[in-house]
A and B are shown apart, each in its own frame.
Chain A
Amino acid sequence: MSDLPIPMASATPLIIREKMPLIALAGQPNVGKSTLFNLLTGLNQHVGNWPGKTVERREGTFTFEDHSYSLVDLPGTYSLTANSPEEVIAREFILREQPDVVVAVVNAANLERSLYLVAELVALPTPIVVAMNMMDVAAQEGIRVEPEVLEAALSVPVVPVTATRSSGARDLMHIIEETLGDCRRRNPSLPEIRPDHREVLAEILRQIAGQVPSPYPANWVALKLLEGDAEITRTMQIALSQQKWMAVQGVLRQHDDALLAIASGRYEWIGRMVRAAVIQPKIGQITLTKRLDDWATHPFWGLVVLAGILGLVFWLTFTVGSPVQNWLDTQVVGGLSQLASDVLVNAPSWLKGLVVNGVLDGAGAVLTFLPIMVIFFAVFGLLEDMGYMARAAYVMDNLMHLMGLHGKSFLPLFLGFGCNVPAIMGTRVIDSKPARMLTILIAPLVPCTARMAVVAFLAPAFFGPKALIVSWGLVLFSLIILVLSGSVLNRLIFKGQRSAFIMEMPLYHIPNARTIGLLVWQRSLSFVKKAGTNILAMAVVIWALSVLPNGNLNSSYLVQFGKFVEPVGRWMGLDWRLTVALIASFPAKENAIATMGVLFGSSPNAGLAQTLTSTFSTASALSFLVATMLFIPCMATVAVIRQETKSWGWTLLNIGIFLAMTIAASGGVYHLALAFGL
């Protein structure tokens, strides 16, 4: 989390606002905001980062009745108080970029809680429209809501929508158009502070009058000061004279319970709205969520469910992903190599080498990992969208405590099974800095798809029918190392600190195909882009190093380097080729295979797998697989660790720890395997 307020306005204005009205989507998590965003924009969306932050920024454009609009999806937040970067981004965007309309998405099935953000939004100067989403879920739960009554009570337009069934979007757009054309300033009903604190609020307002920096409304700043908002407190400390600041601070110190008075005022306001609009509250039936949670959140059965789900993912990877991958490898990539060789038969040998052994053998093989990536992205998207992820975090809370972490830290780790890069970025859900740093340190120990793909390729080659057991063993081994190193690091570096575990458990709901489809599409696209540039370039570099300086592999730079570090490799049971393959896995884990392809000169007909089987002992194979699991995180992960920790010290510490663990564990496994006669 950054300690400085981010000057949003001076940062690059990413949105082109050429007469195109700008709409911002705001809402609490789990109200279906993303589904509504996807419904409106479809594939016309762009995913990036908020300037200077690692919070995902989604924006898009769409056309409705011949008018174009630009839409920004603000991060999901429960309030607008600076508890995390998300809240700061949402409110700074509304105040500084001044969108033409803010669409506040609320959950019809739980108006009381989801109106809390609306209670904050109505206090800001931008016009708002409330999209009452999940009307179907509300009906299912036996709740009857009257949007027009809520509209009258709020004095803000309210539109019922069910984004998952694409219903209500047209009505919403008509209301947005109306609001855009309406120059009259609406006067929404505003929540008030609890009466016993009115005088305190007035006093703060008197002290800061005329001193509030733009674009903040004075009233809003006074409330945020009383709520103890860290960012606004800092801003006002700078803006006010020392004398005024002392006076303000004095008042704040005497009333450190003011945040409860403000929140109570908001809930009191919400209570009035809900009493008017909800004509039939929830009936006390045993819901689907309750029945599923009896299993999914049970201290024992919950773990069984989680293990089962993970098992299913790996089973899918091996039974569906691997055959597709093998087919791509032998037929598509192999076929292309053959074709290229035929076409380039009269070309200079360096060109033929570059195309066939560099580009095709390298990047082509990488693309064959795509089926496995897609499986992972789809399963995780599905679990996320169904509401299961919060349950996984909940049941893992106890285990995470061993490392001084709590359940939420499990979510990025879970994501790490797909790819470590989003896992490191996902650590921002963790509120405390030490817990976040520790999670970043250990996250690369979660075996990612790329490493599993290497294992999925090598394990059957080395171990035949025992491949599944060996793969499972490797995963388990990594996770045990993760817990061990986590608890050791927690005691050594973080002195056993722990952080608060507070997390909403959303209702289970039927997953939305469009939401998951878009997620899989975006993540796969970004993987292919990475494969198309970074990994391809690396494959060519490795090939070049393997032929330079004089076209002979055995005297090439690559072999020279491999032989230079061979003593270490040999202790781990690896020859120079495996050592080089391991080192080459730094740019991207999949490169291990691509590099082997280059080093062993695999011809399309005799697959690399057979060559490897006949060359290495079981002990060496095990050692290499262990090294693959534990080796320095890939280049992209290291880059993102640097970006998230904002420290080279942490990044280098991370690399050092992983290098030491690899040498120790692989060497240990190799010598142990030898002792058992493998």
Chain B
Amino acid sequence: MINMRRTSLAELPTNERAIILSFANGRPETNRLVSLGFTPGANVDMTQNYGHGPLIVTVRGARVALGRVEAAKIFVKRDRE
């Protein structure tokens, strides 16, 4: 597809949308992410990302707070319209 870019979730700016590609979080962490709605192919909207500290994303209709380190291990492709 065109206009799509691979990046980590931690780099996604506020109010932008992306699609989850893969995880490098390790198994117990991935299990928890999955039960909160993070799966490959799911849409994530960045609700709050100040570029430092934790961030908030909206996934499958729920708001989830993630540490920056955890978000950096979630790979997404960014929808740049």
Q: Identify the A interface with B (CB < 8 A).
A: 78-79, 81, 83, 109-110, 112-113, 116, 227-228, 230, 256, 259-260, 263-264, 267, 282, 289-290, 293, 297, 299, 390, 393-394, 397-398, 406-407, 431, 498, 500-507
Contact = CB atoms under 8 A, between A and B. Distances in A.
Contact residue range for chain B? 20 to 34
A260 B81 CA distance: 28
A406 B54 CA distance: 9
Given A112-B37, A397-B67, 7 more contacts: A79-B35, A112-B60, A256-B27, A394-B65, A431-B32, A504-B63, A505-B63
Contacts of A81: 31, 35
A431 B60 CA distance: 23
Contacts of A110: 60-62
A503 B64 contact: yes
Interface in B24-81: 25, 27-37, 39-42, 47-48, 50, 52-54, 56, 60-67, 69-70
B37 A113 contact: yes
Given A78-B36, A112-B61, A500 B67 contact: yes
Nearest to A399: B53
Contacts of B53: 299, 397-398
Contacts of A498: 69
Given A112-B61, A502-B64, A503-B65, A78 B42 contact: no
A501 B54 contact: yes
> In this complex, which of B32, B39, B54 has the most chain A Cβ atoms within 10 angstroms of its Cβ?
B54
B61 A113 contact: yes
A260 B54 contact: no
Contact of A116 (B23, B35, B54): B35
Contacts of B50: 299
Contacts of B29: 500, 502
Contacts of B41: 264
> In this complex, which of B37, B56, B62, B64 has the most chain A Cβ atoms within 10 angstroms of its Cβ?
B62
A503 B31 CA distance: 13
B27 A502 contact: no
Interface of B is mostly: mixed
A503 B32 CA distance: 10
> In this complex, which of B25, B36, B40, B52 has the most chain A Cβ atoms within 10 angstroms of its Cβ?
B36
B27 A267 contact: no
6 contacts: A267-B42, A289-B63, A293-B47, A394-B65, A504-B36, A505-B63
A293 B55 CA distance: 12
A227 B67 contact: no
B65 A407 contact: yes
Contacts of A397: 53-54, 65, 67
Contacts of A390: 65
Contacts, number: 117
B39 A267 contact: yes
B55 to A, nearest CB: 9
Contacts of B37: 112-113, 116, 267
A83 B35 contact: yes
Contacts of A113: 36-37, 60-62
List 9 tightest A-B contacts by C-beta distance, closest first.
Answer: A501-B67, A79-B35, A78-B35, A505-B63, A263-B34, A397-B54, A112-B60, A110-B61, A113-B62
Interface of B: 23, 25, 27-37, 39-42, 47-48, 50, 52-54, 56, 60-67, 69-70
B64 A297 contact: no
> In this complex, which of B35, B37, B53 has the most chain A Cβ atoms within 10 angstroms of its Cβ?
B35
A297 B56 contact: yes
A505 B31 contact: no
Contacts of B64: 502-505
Given A264-B40, A406-B67, A259 B34 contact: yes
A297 B56 CA distance: 9
B65 to A, nearest CB: 5
A498 B36 CA distance: 21
A227 B67 CA distance: 24
Contacts of B23: 260
Given A83-B31, A397-B54, A398-B53, A501 B65 contact: yes
Given A79-B31, A501-B54, A502-B33, A293 B40 contact: no
Contacts of A112: 37, 60-61
A394 B66 CA distance: 9
Contacts of A503: 64-65
A400 to B, nearest CB: 10
Nearest to A111: B61
B48 to A, nearest CB: 6
Nearest to A115: B60
Contacts of A289: 63
Nearest to A290: B47
B59 to A, nearest CB: 8
A227 B33 CA distance: 13
Given A264-B41, A397-B53, A498-B69, A504 B62 contact: yes
A260 B40 contact: yes
B5 to A, nearest CB: 22
Contacts of B40: 260, 264
Contacts of B62: 110, 113, 504
A407 B27 CA distance: 21
B61 A282 contact: yes
B31 A502 contact: no
B54 A83 contact: no
B39 A502 contact: no
Contacts of A297: 48, 56
> In this complex, which of B23, B32, B33, B47 has the most chain A Cβ atoms within 10 angstroms of its Cβ?
B32
Contact of A259 (B30, B52, B61, B66): B30
A79 B56 CA distance: 21
Given A110-B62, A501-B65, A260 B36 contact: no
Contacts of B61: 109-110, 112-113, 282
A505 B60 CA distance: 13
B28 A83 contact: yes
A289 B47 CA distance: 11
A501 B64 CA distance: 10
Contacts of B56: 293, 297, 394, 505
A609 B60 CA distance: 58
